[in-house]
Amino acid sequence: MPPESKSKKEAAKEQAMKELLGSEKGDRTKTVLGLSAALVALFSFMAALDFLESLNLPLDPIDYIIFAMLSMLGPYGFYVSTKEKHTREIETRLPDFLRDVAEAGRFGMTLADSIVVASSGRYGRLTPEIKKMAAQIEWGVPASEAVQLLSERVKTPLVGRMTSIIRKANDAGGNVADVLTMVSSDAKETILTQEERSVTMSTYVMVVYISFFVFIATIIILQAQFLPKMEEAGQTVSDQAADMGEEIPGVNIQVSIIPEISFIFLLSVLVHAAGDGILAGVIQKGSIPIGMRHSFIMLVAGFLTLRVLFA
């Protein structure tokens, strides 16, 4: 075979190998952040134009500011939450895969052969990563390196810790099956602990939501009952003073500040939505980005209540 033809085949094989090894999906974090920044800039610009009365826009400046806040909180918050859910589903099935690899290893198979045999099983979200790892081994990648590539694709503390133990046990030699069994048991216990904590913390998250909606209900009552009565009383006092030709001593109701009070109520709802949502995320998962999703939901509820219901 001519050297050039042989080199072309080797180059093609190497290119296919690189595509296989580098088939990890790109991280879309920068794209999501860029989209959020663009929307925030757009709505902020529209709010500035409306405030300066440069254009006759249909909404108030505060509405565009709320849209900017939603654009900042929503896309990134839901993206991180989706990634976290995907990672949790992968970690949940990891002990099953490790157990199957250990069972295959007890029949005298090497770690590489055990991974290839176990890759025929079904492990939910983890299945594509397992098949990818098995394909890498069949292409000649050492088992330790394939396991390392798995940890680089699935970047979580649990997967990183498990794969590190497996690689060290395989490099040291000996009975890897026993190590895999212990690692599988440890991973399952860790996942059960995380699930128990998540169930416990979900109660506190519900308390945060309930307290926020109680606050919304209080604002609604004040807007629907208290402020109209105050405006009516102020108008009555003004009419009586006009009939008497002088102000009534000791009675002074400034009806003109009622719209400002309504605006302050709206601002308080925005602050509570952002703060309570982030608090819920920290309580639930110890993560501010996940809390941004809760802030988005609360902010939408507050906007629909105060800006649409009382428009």
pLDDT for 112-132, tens place per residue?
888 888 888 888 888 888 888
CB of 70 within 8 A of CB of 300?
yes
Where do the DSSP E strands lie in 209-300? none
Phi-psi region of 244 (alpha: psi -120 to 50; beta: other; left: phi over 0): alpha
**pLDDT above 90 covers what percent of the chain?**
20
The verdict on residue 221 lying in a domain is yes
The verdict on residue 292 lying in a domain is yes
Q: What is the mean predicted confidence (pLDDT) over 8-32?
A: 58
Q: What is the mean predicted confidence (pLDDT) over 127-149?
A: 86
The verdict on residue 231 lying in a domain is yes
The verdict on residue 173 lying in a domain is no
Lowest mean pLDDT among 6-15, 87-96, 100-109, 201-210: 6-15
Print the domain residue range for 257: 200-308
Torsions phi, psi for 11 (to 5 deg): -65, -40
The pLDDT, as a whole number, for residue 138 is 86
The verdict on residue 35 lying in a domain is no
The distance in angstroms from the start CA to the end CA of the chain is 81
Number of domain units in the chain: 1
Give the count of beta carbons closer than 10 Å to the beta carbon of residue 139: 13
Angle at which helix 111-118 crosses helix 143-153, to 10 degrees, equals 50
pLDDT at 303 over 70: yes
The verdict on residue 256 lying in a domain is yes
Where do the DSSP E strands lie in the chain? none
The pLDDT, as a whole number, for residue 68 is 92
The verdict on residue 114 lying in a domain is no
CB of 166 within 8 A of CB of 142?
no
The verdict on residue 113 lying in a domain is no
- Token pair of 161, please? 């810790």
**pLDDT above 70 covers what percent of the chain?**
83
What does the pLDDT look like over 231-268, one tens digit per residue? 777 666 666 655 555 555 545 566 667 778 888 888 99
DSSP, res 121: S
